[in-house]
Structure 1
Amino acid sequence: MAISEAQLETWNKLGPTAQFTSTYEALRDVLNDSSSPYWPKSFEIFLQGSYKNSTNVYGDSDVDVVIRLDSIFYTDLYFLSEEEKQRYNSQRTEGNYSLEEFKTSVISWLTKKYGNDVQPGNKAVFIKGNGTSRRDADVLICAKLRRYYSFPEFGQPHYVDGICFFLPSGIRIENFPEKHAENCTTKHQDTRQWFKPTVRIFKNLRNTMIKNKIIEDGLAPSYFIEGMLYNVPPTKFGGSEQMNFKDVLNWLLSADRDKFVCANEQFKLLGGAHVTWPAANCTQFLNAVKSYNDAA
């Protein structure tokens, strides 16, 4: 027994996008308004998440928008030698504007435009949809991050651009959404356009299992499902829908998942950090997928 070809074909389809596109465009226009108090600063606005990566399915609700302050940037020097760190620190200059000031200005502006529909949270600012033209949205207010891998005496340093923000506790969270999106697109091409439909199948199956109370909501966030499938070799994708699903699932079940990386390739996928997936949750999810498929 297995999930039918027809069901998998239904699940691999892209979810509706028109209302989410209009929500993003309207919110981008508000954030990019020259009347805002932060307008003179350098910043970038872009999508992240399922709608950015074309892995959205029916049931996805929030539009994830990033507004990133570029007037300053934070650094991750973990991979530099002590000599390279000293060289970097000798050349750095202090910024005269803070992420906290930027965040305060953005929230003030959003509240002016959307009133009580704006609800600041620990990570992002939630903007409630109006039930007609605007969907729910999460706005992540962050700063540019550079993770340095080399800082030579001569020549150009090597770094990867990302984002960072701070939790109320003061913990700094780093992530690399643009690298994530870029790598997922490359993976999609390398798998002959099978990667993103396969992500949508696993997401739809997750939603079905949540609805049927087989797993708890929150066990397998979309970001981690994308990261998990990113580690599957391109040769395992393809064939019929059933063959593709079976080969991908069997490889995941037998793989050494401790070696998995996030799709941005900047972190391990599994672990206990804020940007990693608890290994037990990944195992529980895959076992539930296998049981569901076996019983179908």
Structure 2
Amino acid sequence: MTIPEFQLERWSHLGAVTTSKDTYATIKRALESPDAGYSGRSYKVFLQGSYGNDTNIYSESDVDIVICCADAFYYDLDHLSLEHKGAFNANRVSATYAYATFKADVQAALVAAFGSSVQVANKAFKIAAAGNRRSADVVAAFEHRRYIEFKNAISQSFYEGISFFTTDGRRINNFPNYHSNNLTAKHQATGNRFKPAVRIFKNIRSKATEIGLLEKGDAPSYFIEGLLYNVPNEKFISGFSDTTLGILSWLYENADRTQFVCANERYYLLRDNDSVCWPRAKGTKFINAAITLWNEWQDQSRTRFI
């Protein structure tokens, strides 16, 4: 028995909207406090993740927020010629505001607003839920530039992203704006069917984890979004059953997934030993679990799944 249409339709629904919007507004106000140590510097606060991309489901709680300082930036010169690397280094000016100082200033601003609800995690500051405020993760980042050209200070070209450090000192570079913009473009190109399909597959992940086909953490939402981004637009058709089966069939038939890209199109999706990529075994495990759940679905009419 396959997953019925009514279940897929329920899983396609957008999760909490009002409380996540209010949570973001509350934390954004705290980060934009005129008393913050970075007040007066160039920075921006924005949503990323499921809530930022309108792919959140009811079981997802954390609101993911980035505060990115543009007064300084990290960079990647791997795609430049030797001549252009030389030009960049000749024009480079050392930053006067350190990342560690910025991160400490962000922590101070959050603690001033939310007190002991703020905890330091490996990649972000975690803010516990309270009242109508949802739990949130706040990433303190510097701007990141992946250069593709640098002739001089005026003639240069780069992909703009963010850089931040984990508590063990690893720098992570990512491109959330490209990710978000590409998901929106995919959604529009599929007749607004892409994001509901993503929500279906996130709920498939949740159900597969509940019954033991997956372990918690095997299939982060970011990678599920990336996986479906690689599926051809024509597979997103009318009817949730037809779309889900078409996606699963396409993934099953494409056994060589080495060329799949992340939704930001700046990294490959399935690679081992890379902090911004999905380990290949876990990606395969998710696809197999989704297929198993589809093929072996049991009547769950007595249980409410949202």
| TM-score bucket of the superposed structures, by smaller chain | over 0.9
Partner of 1:58: 58
| 1:105 and 2:105 aligned | yes
| 1:265 and 2:265 aligned | yes
1:241-280 equivalences under 5 Å are 241-255=240-254, 256-272=256-272, 273-280=274-281
1:42-191 equivalences under 5 Å are 42-130=42-130, 132-152=131-151, 156-191=155-190
Cα distance between partner residues in 1 of 2:19 and 2:167: 32
Quick one: percent identity of the two aligned structures? 43
Partner of 2:24: 24
Partner of 1:36: 36
Cα distance between partner residues in 2 of 1:168 and 1:111: 18
C-alpha contact (below 8 Å) 2:91/2:153 kept by paired residues: no
Unaligned 5+ residue runs, structure 1?
none
Cα distance between partner residues in 2 of 1:97 and 1:12: 44
- Partner SS for 1:257: coil
Question: May I ask how many residue pairs the two structures share in their alignment?
Answer: 295
C-alpha contact (below 8 Å) 2:88/2:152 kept by paired residues: no
Letter of the structure 2 residue corresponding to residue 36 of structure 1: A
1:86-120 deviation digits (Å, cap 9, x = unpaired): 11111111111111111111111211221111101
1:102-147 deviation digits (Å, cap 9, x = unpaired): 11111112112211111011210001111x2211110000100011
Cα distance between partner residues in 2 of 1:154 and 1:107: 34
Partner of 2:295: 294
The alpha carbon displacement at 1:212 in A equals: 2.0
Scaled by the length of structure 2, the TM-score of the pair is 0.94
CA 1:20–1:93 in structure 2 vs 1: closer, same or farther (change >3 Å)? same
| 1:284 and 2:285 aligned | yes
Question: Bigger CA drift: 205-214 or 157-166?
Answer: 205-214
Unaligned 5+ residue runs, structure 2?
298-306
CA 1:293–1:97 in structure 2 vs 1: closer, same or farther (change >3 Å)? same
Scaled by the length of structure 1, the TM-score of the pair is 0.97
Letter of the structure 2 residue corresponding to residue 211 of structure 1: E
